[in-house]
Amino acid sequence: MGGDKTDARTGPLRLVCFELRGQELALPIDDVRETLPIQPITRVVLTPPALAGVFSLRGDIVPAIDLGVLFGFPRTEIGDHSRIIVLDQTITAGIVVDRLRDLRTLDEALEAPPPSLSTEISELLLGIAATPTGTVRVLDAAAIIAAEPLRALAKREEESK
């Protein structure tokens, strides 16, 4: 990872948009398996704070990532509009978000994250886009899974294969 990401996608970028702490964030639709109403999440002792717990997805136990904690916020409060976005990556994981927003299609290229962001945060972003309704921060799903606080998840998944 690092500040020099290139996105191999061509053409318009379709995004699953969501809200977290009043900010609009998005993931490329190709990185999302599905979105779910909030499920019962069971906390697991001795796991990183960024792991909200685990939930059952059609009989499989799936880690739930608290994206807010990865961004340095307190734990995400689960509310009536909260959702889980299931990522389609090397491991199956869900991220807890405050609410879903509309799907978007971006025709223009993403801009690099601003240099004022910390390296830890900018590594989680593919880029940003200015839209008529504000700035959308587009997340890198693979970088979220590989983030330092969650590396043990990916390692355990590889070991179990």
Q: What is the CATH number of the domain that holds 50?
A: 2.40.50.180
Could you tell me which of 75, 36, 76 has the C-alpha nearest to residue 56? 36
Q: Is residue 155 assigned to a domain?
A: yes
Q: In this structure, how many other beta carbons lie within 10 angstroms of the beta carbon of residue 106?
A: 18
Q: Tokens 């019962």 appear where?
A: 40
Q: Is residue 53 assigned to a domain?
A: yes
Give pLDDT tens digits for 117-156.
Answer: 888 888 999 999 888 778 899 999 999 988 877 776 655 5
Taking the C-alpha atoms of residue 144 and residue 24, their distance in angstroms, rounded to an integer, is: 17
Residue 58: which domain range?
A: 15-159
Give pLDDT tens digits for 34-87.
Answer: 999 998 999 999 888 899 999 999 999 999 999 988 888 888 888 899 999 999
Q: Which two tokens stand for residue 8?
A: 């191999």
Residue 21: helix, strand or coil by DSSP? Answer: coil
HSE-CB at 38 with a 13 A cutoff on CA atoms is 20
Q: Is residue 44 assigned to a domain?
A: yes
Q: Is residue 8 assigned to a domain?
A: no
- 68 vs 160: which has the higher pLDDT: 68
CA 84 to chain CA mean position, Å: 10
29 with 103: CB under 8 angstroms?
A: yes
Q: Going by DSSP bridges, is the β-strand pair 23-28/134-139 parallel, antiparallel, or unpaired?
A: parallel
Q: Is residue 4 assigned to a domain?
A: no
Q: What is the pLDDT of residue 134?
A: 81
Q: How many domains does the chain have?
A: 1
Taking the C-alpha atoms of residue 6 and residue 69, their distance in angstroms, rounded to an integer, is: 26
15 with 29: CB under 8 angstroms?
A: yes
Q: Which two tokens stand for residue 138?
A: 């587009």
Q: Going by DSSP bridges, is the β-strand pair 23-28/13-20 parallel, antiparallel, or unpaired?
A: antiparallel
Q: Is residue 10 assigned to a domain?
A: no
Q: Please enumerate in sequence order all residues whose Cβ is within 8 A of that of 121, keeping only pairs 6 or more positions apart, or say none.
A: 71, 72, 113
Q: Is residue 3 assigned to a domain?
A: no
Residue 14 pLDDT > 50: yes
**pTM for the predicted model, two decimal places:** 0.85
